[in-house]
Structure 1
Amino acid sequence: MSNEIRNLEPKALWNKFADLNAVPRPSKKEERVIEFMKNFGNSLGLETFEDEIRNVIIRKPATPGMENRKPIVLQGHLDMVHQKNNDTQFDFENQGIDMYVDGDWVRAKGTTLGADNGLGVAAIMAILESKDIPHPAIDALFTIDEETGMTGALNLKGGILKGEILLNLDTEEDDEIDIGCAGGVDVTAVAEYDEEETPADAVGYTITVKGLNGGHSGMDIHKGLGNANKIMNRLLFNGYEDFGLQIATLNGGSLRNAIPRESVANVVIAGMYDEAFEYDMLQIAKEIKAEFKTTEPNLEITVEKLNNVPKKVMPSMAQFYLVRAIYTAHNGVYRMSADFDNLVETSNNIAKVTVGEGKLSIQCLTRSSVETSKFDLANALRSAFELMGCEVTFSGSYPGWTPNPKSEILEVLVDIYEKQNGTKPNVVACHAGLECGILGTNYPGMDMISFGPTIHGAHSPDERASISSSQKFWKFLLEILANIPEKK
């Protein structure tokens, strides 16, 4: 892997990405990558420190002749989403990512690649290490825990950064320049129930939903992709209605910001319904697969008989409310923006559902570029889950980033992009949760912009980064650094 990736152009970028991807860095477990980044900064003789929450800041003075330009912040996040295929053996806490080249793409073997936001971080590292790239004074800001709570950005205090312009390198289409993003809030519903003994005549089944694309619950939410938790709930609903199905255990989804790809349920039914149940489930599975044949061609739904029948199950009435609440809970696009063409304003991802041992949990991530709309949808979800007897909490709320179409640095980027590519870039706001809006709360006067290379399939094992796009991105970034406006 190492030589294949390290020989890609631009080598400065890909070598730093290979270095970074050798370091385990799942969200909330960034200790190793924090030390790696501090050692990197110190090895260059640059001012390097971490703040109270463990964001890493590395400062580099302006190159000769650039001292009169506005100081900038180059920003990316250190953590990565850790997702893998079921048949892939991988330990994200102790292994580096195993990468390979596939045509114009760099991929990982059965796991997420970490290009989100590893390529942005690698680009900043390459700039810091460079001796011949013109640039103004730089604060390199490497935040932690972006993917599972925006903890680093939320806890960065004012007064630490000296830059007047922030370049966030965390978007995923190289023809886009982002000037706004959605905020988000976690909606979590929990409850307990008294398990029942499984009826004496029961037979057990495992129902499995798998093979879905998954993806980023912000950037991909509008694509009509299947949500494993919603699909599983349809099967459980019909099984309950027609055969009195009872759930023993249910595990669907994994991360709040990833569209769930898989769900597995162990259930029981009365033995007298055995053949009819299996036939009915397979018929429903065919109908669901037909609905998703275009967006989810690899969807698999299996119904397999268990050798050992589960001993405990969820009571019938508790399940009655559960499947109805999940059916009622909105998933996907809730409202499109009235101000920006083709922009999702508000959405929800039913990210993770677990049932077993007398406890249930439903985890959602609600996003919106409009704060009031975000909580409107969050309260709709809360109402559905409270009606089934759950305790519902809102947590991890972070603000969106309000677009500034008259930004000075935006004008610079648009002009450079057009000169380099012969076409205008798409100036957009995105439905993902960039850190710019959060950082702006403590640095309200900072001019912010976001851009990056093309990355597809982020937050899924299909994540891949375009080699040619990375070359385009690198050329773009270097020209931006050379054309930062002068101080006023």
Structure 2
Amino acid sequence: MSQNIRNIAPKSVWNHFADLNAVPRPSKKEERIIKFMVDFGNHLNLETAVDKVGNVIIKKPATSGMENRKAIVMQGHLDMVHQKNADTDFDFDNKGIKMFIDGDWVKAKGTTLGADNGLGVAAIMAVLSATDIPHPAIEALFTIDEETGMTGAMGLEGGLLQGEILLNLDTEEDDEIGIGCAGGVDVTATRTYQEEAIVGNVIAYHIAVTGLNGGHSGMDIIKGLGNANKIMNRVLFDGLENYGLRISEINGGSLRNAIPRESFATVVINSTCKATFLLESEALINNIKQEFKTLEPNLSIDIQEVEIPKKIMEIDAQEKFIKAIYAALNGVYRMSPDVEGLVETSNNIARIIVKEGKIKIGCLTRSSSESNKWDLANSLRACFELADLNVDFSGTYPGWLPNMNASILKTVESTYINLFNTQPNVAACHAGLECGILGQNYPNLEMISFGPNIKGAHSPDERAQISSTQKFWRLLKEVLKNIPEKE
């Protein structure tokens, strides 16, 4: 399987990608991939270092004739999002990703692929290991923990890098040149509640919302895809309003930067309501499926009778919780008034856990406007605090403001036009790239972002396009040749 991947052109990129995917590299558990990268740099006899937070820096001198060009930083992140289908048995902490080729695409078997940002890292590795690619002096920066807090970029000290230009290889559309991105903040709401013993003649059900597309909570938020947590809440709200449904536990979503694909709940109702509850729920489910039939054709909402649990939520906490989730915004909050088609501000209700007397709700709020980021975050805070939840803001990071006059923008844009005889899409994106954070300690660093086509990032449907990777590799090599001279 991996051997087939290794035979794809450009072989150097895909071989390095296969090597990366053989190493487990979940966010916040990057010890093995850090060692792998250090060994890689040392094997090439290149200056290699690990900074105090775990970022790996590998330096390669300019090739002959390129010494007078501006030094560049080539940057990608080492960690990957871990998502899998419910029916996939896979241990991300100990197994390498299982890949296969499907036409023009490379995919993984029931899990995320790791092309975000593994292909960018692999391309940098291919440049570092090459002997036939002209390039200026390179500082390869491999950051950690991009997907769950960007702590690698945040912890990178000023003065470690000397490059004048940064090439971020973490864009997922091959016709796009990234010049800006959204910032973000994690919004977490928690509270405790009293559990009650079940009394009376009741029946218990397991409700499962599955089959949703999921996806990147920034880039895909504009699509209006189904959010499993919000869909589950509709079913719970209807059951509470009409049949006195009581919640035992909920487990919905997973990572903050992934649109939740699945949610599961255990509930009880009075046995006398069984027939009407199931009939009413079926009607509601059909309505929801009808709403999402175009975007989410595989949506499944299944209700199955199960063993009666021992405890349920006390009713006051349950009512406030359900109403808070209903009221809390999920999706696009504001479109950019300046860039057509760009989401400015959004929220993803990513994770909901209700179990054993504790509620935890995890959101990721994004915006290219700092003021609107905090406006939406405070709106969520107000909503949750009205339900007696405690709200915490953490992991905040800034956006990346576009610089239309950057020399590297002109270089990449003209190179793209010369190679492909068409105009690239120069744009900001509604995702969290590390450029904005890196720019805080390196304010004079010109930055640009580009990459190959990667679809379904942050979901088990993630796939990387083979022909697009070839296009990206061709562009990257040509850009390296055209880096401007030192001033």
User: Structure 2: which 5+ residue stretches go unaligned?
Assistant: none
Q: Give 2:434's aligned amino acid.
A: E
> Which one-letter code corresponds to 1:76 in the other structure?
G
Q: Counterpart of 1:280 in 2: which secondary structure?
A: helix
The secondary structure found in structure 1 opposite 2:139 is strand
- Take 1:318 and 1:53, find their aligned partners in 2: how far apart are those partners? 40
Alignment partner of 1:378: what SS?
helix
> Are 2:384 and 1:385 aligned?
yes
Secondary structure in 2 aligned to 1:127? helix
The residue type paired with residue 191 of structure 1 is R
2:478 is aligned to: 479
Correspondence for 2:114: 114
Instruction: Give me the whole-angstrom Cα distance separating, in 1, the residues matched to 2:85 and 2:399.
Output: 32
Matched residue, 1:458: 457
Runs of 4+ in 1 over 2 A off after TM superposition: none
Superposed, 1:176-215 pairs within 5 Å as 176-215=176-215
1:352 aligned residue? 351
Q: Which residue of 2 aligns with 1:50?
A: 50
Determine helix, strand or coil for the equivalent of 1:406.
Answer: coil
Aligned mates of 1:204, 1:301 — CA distance in 2? 16
Q: Residue 24 of structure 1 aligns with which residue? A: 24
Q: Look up the equivalent residue of 1:385 and give its one-letter code.
A: F
Partner of 2:417: 418
Which letter maps to 1:239? G
Q: What secondary structure sits across from 2:259 in the alignment?
A: coil
How far residue 274 of structure 1 moved from its aligned partner, in angstroms, is 1.0
**Counterpart mapping for 1:9-408 below 5 A:** 9-306=9-306, 308-408=307-407
Aligned equivalents of 1:199, 1:68: Cα separation in 2: 80
What is the rounded CA distance, in whole Å, between the counterparts of 2:63 and 2:129 in structure 1?
Answer: 12
Per-residue deviation at 1:283? 1.0
Instruction: After superposition, give the CA deviation of every residue in 1:165-190 in whole Å (9 maximum; x if it has no partner).
Output: 00000010000000000000000000
CA contact (8 A) 1:46 1:60 kept: yes
Asked if the contact 1:247–1:266 (Cα under 8 Å) also holds between the matched residues in 2, the reply is: yes
- Find the residue that maps to 1:88 and give its secondary structure: coil
* Cα deviation 1:311-354 (Å, max 9, x = unaligned): 10001111110110000000000000011110000000000001
Aligned equivalents of 1:279 and 1:162: distance in 2? 67
- State whether residues 107 and 113 of structure 1, in contact with CA within 8 Å, keep that contact through their aligned partners in structure 2: yes
Deviation at 1:275, TM superposition (A): 1.1
Distance (Å, rounded) in 1 between the aligned partners of 2:482 and 2:12: 21
- Whichever residue aligns with residue 473 of structure 1, its letter is F
- How many Å separate the matches in 1 of 2:217 and 2:437? 19
Shift, 1:272, TM fit: 1.0
2: distance between equivalents of 1:114 and 1:3?
17
- Offset of 1:200 from its aligned partner? 2.7
The whole-number CA distance in structure 1 between the counterparts of 2:288 and 2:39 is 52
Q: Which amino acid aligns with 2:278?
A: E
Q: CA RMSD in A?
A: 0.5
TM-score for both structures, normalised by structure 1: 0.99
Distance 1:142 1:439 in 2: 12
CA displacement at 1:98 relative to structure 2? 0.4
- For residues 214 and 293 of structure 2, what CA distance do their matches in structure 1 show? 15
Name the CA distance, whole Å, in 2 between partners of 1:8 and 1:198: 60
Q: Is the 8 A contact 1:72 1:167 kept in 2?
A: yes
Query: 1:16 is matched by which residue type in structure 2?
Result: H
CA distance in 2, matches of 1:351, 1:442: 30
| Counterpart code for 1:331 | N
Q: Secondary structure at the match of 1:215?
A: coil
Judge conservation of contact 1:282–1:303 (CA < 8 Å) in 2.
no
Deviation digits for residues 391-414 of structure 1 (CA, Å, limit 9, x no counterpart): 100000000000111110000011
Using the size of structure 2 for normalisation, the TM-score is 1.00
Following the alignment from structure 1 to structure 2, what is the Cα–Cα distance between the partners of residues 313 and 451?
50
Match of residue 428 from structure 1: 427
SS in 2 for 1:86: coil
What one-letter code is carried by the residue in structure 1 that aligns with 2:366? R
